[in-house]
Structure 1
Amino acid sequence: MDKEISDKIKKKASELGLLDCGISTASYLAEERPRLEKWLNQGMHGEMSYMARNVDMRLNPQLIFEGAKSVISVLLNYYPKEKQQNDDAPVLSKYAYGKDYHFVLKDKLNQLLTFIQEEIAPCNGRPFVDSAPVLDKAWAAKAGLGWIGKNTNLISVEHGSFFFIGELIIDLELEPDKKVVPDYCGKCTRCIDACPTQAIVAPQRVDARRCISYQTIELKGELDESLKNQFQDRVFGCDICQDVCPWNLKSEPHQEPDFEPHPRLLELSQKEWMEMDRPLFNELFRKSAVKRTKFEGLKRNLQFISSSD
């Protein structure tokens, strides 16, 4: 397949409101295996047992989608126009302000697949948005969309890192991007220095067990008492390592209506957060990623940070 076809796909991705798009050949990610296995062997995935399953599938797209020939990686901006207004209120990760990104991004990927099938060539494909064993950051880097920073986030030269990553794996051979983005982190250690729980234990290695996002979202049961007083009021997710990254000075507000927050959300006071009941939770987070932790999980998180003083 020639470059003209790949360019058509990227143009359509842009029309769908996607921030960037890159293409790579669906081949085995051999270079990722040692890093992934070391992280798992050290137990840094915590209770995320699904990370230890299907290791071969994570590295080989042929095992997750039969006949896979190309991986189309896309980015979707979620950097908000406005942030929470009360400095003393519990802090919600920016990615959770609006509608759950799984649905928004998967819908765009399905539209992109339909375009390819109707306008390029008949093919089969499957979209992935954090819903299967796919190493999304590795594929995005391979497609030339950025590099993996010291905080393990994909960083784009043009856009920073406040974006979601999704993939469309198809059985159509496309011209892959040859672009390789070098590691521009250099000697900067702002993300490592700023992490209040010291979760970034080495460049490009995060101990999930110490990560505020893992604690407030993934962890079931009680939060780690040894991390008391270290959450900096984060109640769901954490943006600290991204907020301090110089590359995010390039971040511009998204234009995605689905990511607009509920009108009341950004105005909530500390008191309103702490006294939140189930009806208000359901009103504010009806279609939000916050539903993942459920009402009980959010109350657990609120209790943890309120008793940290």
Structure 2
Amino acid sequence: MPNSSPAPEALLVKLTELIQQWGREQGFQQIAITDVNLTTEQQHLEQWLSRGFHGTMAWMAENSDKRGSPEKLLPGAQRVISARMDYLPPDTEQIKILKSPQKAYVSRYALGRDYHKLIRKRLALIANQIQTFCDDNNFTHPLNQRAFVDSAPVLERPLAEKAGLGWVGKHTLLINEHAGSWFFLGEILTSLPLPLATKKMENRCGDCEACLKICPTDAFPAPYQLDARRCISYLTIENKGAIPIEFREVMGNRVFGCDDCQAICPWNKFAKPTTETDFHPRHSLESSDLVDLFLWDEQQFLKNTEGSAIRRIGYQNWLRNLAVGLGNAPASQQIIEALTKKRNETSPPITALVAEHIDWALSRQITPPKRRQRKLKASH
């Protein structure tokens, strides 16, 4: 094994400057470096898990020790290189879509290609450049590094906050005072003792509680706390079973994720549209009618969601979500016919889960309920 004496400080400073440059070249809007100490954040995670707020996301509880100890993911890890990349699609009228009940609302992050591979590849390129720099300069410090993009037990937002990329807002998402919150995060864990970021960004939420008040399902029991079991993003993506009836009406036309708490945030007036064409909407997902998406067969679904985050929920849960949206849409003979057609398909047949949601939607289409269009009140 190579001598483990510290790398020359001047070279580490130079490398840190180069990492910033390489990050910009790879399309990241910001790069910052922090240590791996997450003791306080680990305690918050354990409290969140103990209250069952993670719902059926068992993977959140599994390896929880690694989430609070990055060095358990990467032996010898001393630093986290945290990166953010904007994803706000340009020229989309998502609020208009949200207020058009016959349209399908898809969360902005999922309108284009899945970000995981793109960002991981870019981070891997930076990691390779770090390796080359160390080789070229005969670093004696052992180098061990690994890139992550929401793909391992890593506390991304707390690490990004420690690095100075923003602060965790009351809606539990990271906010940057110059860029809002429409961005992805990724990390490189490294064994190099790189210089740390100078300071954290001050939490500037102040007295604002717009994100808490706008939530359709009242998923925030308190500021900085999210009960995922009530969150529409969880219900439409992570949840594999039936969507509880109490949440269906207030879901409206949200068929994959929910952006309400971000869209209302005043800091997002500083958000800038992404320049990454891979994050631009595909297959008209930013403005499609619910009924058109519902009539996709499985092959169309697989084709049109290739390389998309949407594919991970599977065709049947896609139909489940769309059925709820159709049940909330204004009464329409076209919708009734589409629901009935899908309900009666036998080759291949729909699942009992989808059938139950279609039956719910049909009952509301045939005998429309009094539209309350109100926020659901929770009893936490």
Deviation, structure 1 residue 36: 1.1
1:182 paired residue number:
202
Amino acid at match of 2:221: V
Amino acid at match of 1:244: I
> CA 1:154–1:267 in 2, change beyond 3 Å: closer, same or farther?
closer
Amino acid at match of 1:261: P
Q: Aligned residues: percent identity?
A: 38
> Is this contact kept in 2: 1:90–1:270, CA < 8 A?
yes
Quick check: 278-287 or 187-196, which moved more? 278-287
Select which of 277, 288, 294 maps to 2:308: 288
1:238 is aligned to 2:258:
yes
1:206 is aligned to 2:229:
no
> CA 1:263–1:236 in 2, change beyond 3 Å: closer, same or farther?
closer
Match of 1:205, SS?
coil
Select which of 9, 13, 16 maps to 1:6: 16
> Is this contact kept in 2: 1:75–1:164, CA < 8 A?
yes
Amino acid at match of 1:304: V
**How far apart, in 2, do the equivalents of 1:207 and 1:116 lie?**
39
Amino acid at match of 2:236: T
**How far apart, in 1, do the equivalents of 2:300 and 2:153 lie?**
34
**How far apart, in 2, do the equivalents of 1:6 and 1:235 lie?**
42
Deviation, structure 1 residue 244: 0.3
1:114 is aligned to 2:128:
yes
Match of 2:33, SS?
strand
> Is this contact kept in 1: 2:291–2:326, CA < 8 A?
no
1:39 paired residue number:
48
Match of 1:82, SS?
coil
Please show how residues 289-308 of structure 1 align to structure 2 within 5 Å.
Answer: 289-308=309-328
Deviations 1:113-166 (A, max 9, x none): 011111245622111111111000000000000000000000011111001111
Match of 1:3, SS?
helix
2:112 paired residue number:
98
Match of 1:179, SS?
coil
Match of 1:206, SS?
coil
> Is this contact kept in 1: 2:106–2:286, CA < 8 A?
no
1:277 paired residue number:
297
Higher relative contact order (CA 8 A, sep 6+): 1
2:58 paired residue number:
49
Match of 2:187, SS?
strand
1:248 paired residue number:
268
> Is this contact kept in 2: 1:25–1:174, CA < 8 A?
no
Q: Structure 1: state its 5+ residue gaps.
A: none
**How far apart, in 1, do the equivalents of 2:319 and 2:304 lie?**
14
TM-score, normalised by the number of residues in structure 1: 0.95
Deviation, structure 1 residue 180: 1.3
> CA 1:44–1:262 in 2, change beyond 3 Å: closer, same or farther?
same
TM-score, normalised by the number of residues in structure 2: 0.78
1:126 paired residue number:
146
Deviation, structure 1 residue 95: 0.5
Structure 1: which 4+ aligned runs deviate by more than 4 Å? Answer: none
Compare CA radii of gyration and give the structure with the larger one. 2
Match of 1:202, SS?
coil
Select which of 263, 268, 282 maps to 2:288: 268
Deviation, structure 1 residue 220: 0.8
**How far apart, in 2, do the equivalents of 1:243 and 1:292 lie?**
24
Match of 1:74, SS?
strand
